[in-house]
Amino acid sequence: MKRKITLTVNGKEQELEIEPNRLLLHVLREEIGLTGTKEGCSIGVCGACSVIVDGRLVSSCLTLAAGCEGRDIETIEGLAKDGNLHPLQQAFIEYGGFQCGICTPGQIMAAKALLDENPKPTADEVKEWMSGNLCRCTGYYKILESVMAVVNNKISPDFQFRKREQQAKIQSLDVYKPVAKTD
């Protein structure tokens, strides 16, 4: 028997009709189309499916969507605002906090939950907090470095991803005349 539920996902209300046996992970991915949240181990060990529900970091693979009626859910897709990365996202790029990237949404959500609660954790506190988010590529050193870079305010103030031009002028082709330029 399907149930109607309303979730607030990244600030937007979502009305859904779901079977009670649906997991939050699958509802986010399949019903709402937010595939940033990943499934790694399916048993709450690896943390790839970490999301924040009512301010608490949880495994969405062990959360029934039906139990989330009325709750506020944050996923990786809600972090960047208007194309501006969250400081943690920026730090993971600057400090190489990922390789294949499959665990990265979970790592970043876990770090965000920590910094929301404790903006100045020590490296040991970060390790303890993040140890439930498994990564098979990095050996974790750069993940820790990335999180600590945010804690210690070491991310570049003028970060721009790969120096993408936001307002490039496209050269008109019909008036194009090839000439050498001078400084």
- First CA to last CA across the chain, in angstroms? 72
Decide whether 41 or 152 has the Cβ nearer to another protein.
Answer: 41
Decide whether 7 or 37 has the Cβ nearer to another protein.
Answer: 37
Q: How far is the CB of 128 from another protein (least distance, A)?
A: 7
DSSP 37-106: S--SSSSSSS-TTEEEETTEEEEGGGSBGGGGTT-EEE-GGGTSBTTBPPHHHHHHHHTT--SS-SSHHH
Q: How far is the CB of 153 from another protein (least distance, A)?
A: 19
Structural tokens at position 149:
């870079």
Q: How far is the CB of 55 from another protein (least distance, A)?
A: 9
